[in-house]
Amino acid sequence: MVEGELLIRNGVVYDPINGVKGEKKDICIRDGKVVEEVKNPKIIDAEGRVVMPGGVDIHSHIAGGKVNSGRLFRPEDGRKGVKARTKVCRPESGYSVPNTFATGYRYARMGYTFVMEAAMPPLAARHTHEELVDIPILDNAALPLLDNNWMTMEYVKSGDMDLLAAYIAWMIKATKGFGVKIVNPGGTEMWGWGKNCSLNDTVPTFDVTPAEIIKGLAEANEKFDMPHSIHVHTNMLGHPGNFEITKETYDLVKGVKAAKGRQVMHTTHTQFHSYGGTNWGDFESKADAIADYINQNDHATIDIGSIILGDTTTMTADGPMEYSLYQITGRKWTNHDVELETGSGITPFLYSGKSPVNTIQWAIGQELALLVKDPWKLALTTDHPNAGPFIGYPILISMLMSKKRRDESAEDMHKVIYDRAALPSIDREYDLNEIAIITRGMTAKALGLHEHGKGHLGVGADGDVAIYDMSPEERDAGKIQKAFLNTKYTIKGGEIVVKDGEVVATPAGKTYFVTPECDDKLTDEMMVKLKDKFDHYYSVTFNNYAVQDAYVPNPYEIKAPWRS
């Protein structure tokens, strides 16, 4: 047997990026990469089982200050899901806010091998990276928050898009980040004074609107060959009637030309942004309106942020939203505003099928997935842990694949589901190819990671493979859910990391970061303004700000050249 060679034999392969839709096929891996053939490999018999590339999560909160504040203030959540150490694994704790080890093991057991941490406060980027290093198995990346930054707003105001590009380039490099994250633009800065704003309101002092910030950042992002588009949490999350704002947000960037063949905007946890009605009394689903927009336009992609019923811990850089949520529930509430950049809020929340509002929310996420026709425009997420923990993905997969299961579940929900949501009337069922698209193919492409070996099994791709213990003909929702919760095998970089649902090896993951390459003259000009911010307003010095190489021991750099 040749060291480093692996042959996955006779599996039924779903590799949508390469157009493979459930074909009986062998996968050969050598030295961590998919190859044409192997000589004398270790053999895994996948006869009759479903084989997919390793899962790629486009949006999940797994590491950093917010996540850890969630763990710290919820020992009652920590107590759930405890699992003792094994010869291979370190102890697990937590359900909605699992510890770093549990995060790696649970994703790996579901067949995922890459996760994007969706919100990294630049000033606390070292913290995010310290936790990412402690998450075993998973390759990872993190999106720095760049929208409520004073520098961003000042350049948007003055219209200096090249300098704005120089700023985001420097910040992405300084934080070892992956792209541009936008969360309630303008609103989080206003939260510094306890206020909030909507898309076309003017942010005092900076005299810009959220709409201008979003458009400016989209243009700045596309000045480089960035693998990913701007990644947007739109204004007014969770407010009844916000679907109009969401649609208007898409329209803002319609004319922006993408640097690469991908979307120019990804909006995240779109379930929270697809609300109709004027208050919680007449609250209704507008998933159809959002889906119509996505169906008719090609410049925007979404992830669904679908609800998992039960208790969870909500957390976002959208500080005012978390305050509103805390005012509704009266439960514990943590807030952490970050100077010159961003903020955050955290509060526990229970999604109950007895609540009419939660019932409609629950329907909306699934409606989005079922009403958007082209799965390449859509990703499966729960905005972990906001709409529910990632460990609920298999439940969602079984729902999307089974109308029967959806109908049975709807019976247990508040009856409002039959009046103000479309879900019970939708017959569509996902097939495994579509599931593979929304959990790895689309997500890898939207992040530009398919060019770096993620999300597919073509020759040269990373040897990241999930083998699910189910036949492609399986239609029993319970069995589907079970299969997607614990793989028969998960293979990461050619190494078997999960076997029969148990973690058997815990290699370190790589951290992917992007280096946007900006003209020195532009950078120098921008730097004058940035250094002034450090001299007068930041509480750390310029020379202590950027994330040192020591925090990214397993780096994977993606260069993003300036487009002339």
Residues 6+ apart with CB under 8 A from 260: 225, 226, 227, 448
Cis-peptide into 210, omega within 30 deg: no
Measured from the CB of residue 206, what is the shortest distance to another protein in angstroms?
Answer: 11
Choose between 268 and 316: whose C-beta lies nearer to another protein. 316
Nearest approach in angstroms of CB 543 to another protein is 4
> Which is closer to another protein, CB of 50 or CB of 97?
97
Strands 502-503 and 495-499: antiparallel
Q: How many angstroms separate the CA atoms of 240 and 320, rounded?
A: 15
Q: Which is nearer to another protein, 279 or 543 (CB)?
A: 543
**Which residue ranges make up the site for another protein (CB under 8 A)?**
63, 65, 67-69, 71-75, 78-79, 82-85, 90-94, 97-101, 123-124, 126-127, 130-131, 134, 150, 192-194, 323, 326, 332-340, 343, 346-347, 536-541, 543-544, 548, 550-551
Residue 234 or residue 316: which is nearer to another protein going by CB? 316
Of 323 and 562, CB closest to another protein: 323
Going from the C-alpha of 353 to that of each of 129, 278, 408, 412, 468, the distances in angstroms are 37, 22, 13, 7, 30
Chain CA centroid to CA 345, Å: 18
User: How far apart are the C-alpha atoms of 54 and 444, rounded to whole Å?
Assistant: 10
Q: What is the largest CA-CA distance in the chain?
A: 68
Distance CA 461, CA 467 (A): 16
Helices of type H across 372-455: 393-401, 403-411, 417-420, 432-436, 442-446
CB of 347 to another protein, least distance (A): 7
> Can you read off the two tokens belonging to residue 38?
């192997």
Least Å distance between CB 262 and another protein? 33
Taking the least distance from each CB to another protein, the nearer of 76 and 412 is 76
Smallest distance from another protein to CB 321, Å: 14
Residue 280 or 538 with smaller CB distance to another protein: 538
In whole angstroms, the minimum distance from the beta carbon of 486 to another protein comes to 19
CB of 296 to another protein, least distance (A): 42
For another protein, give the closer residue by CB, 146 or 491.
146
Task: Tell me the closest approach of the beta carbon of residue 391 to another protein, in angstroms.
Answer: 15
Is residue 173 a contact partner of residue 557, using CB atoms and an 8 Å limit? Answer: no
Q: Are 400 and 363 in contact (CB under 8 A)?
A: no
What is the rounded distance in angstroms from the CA atom of residue 156 to the CA atom of residue 165? Answer: 11
Are 446 and 70 a contacting pair, CB within 8 Å?
A: no
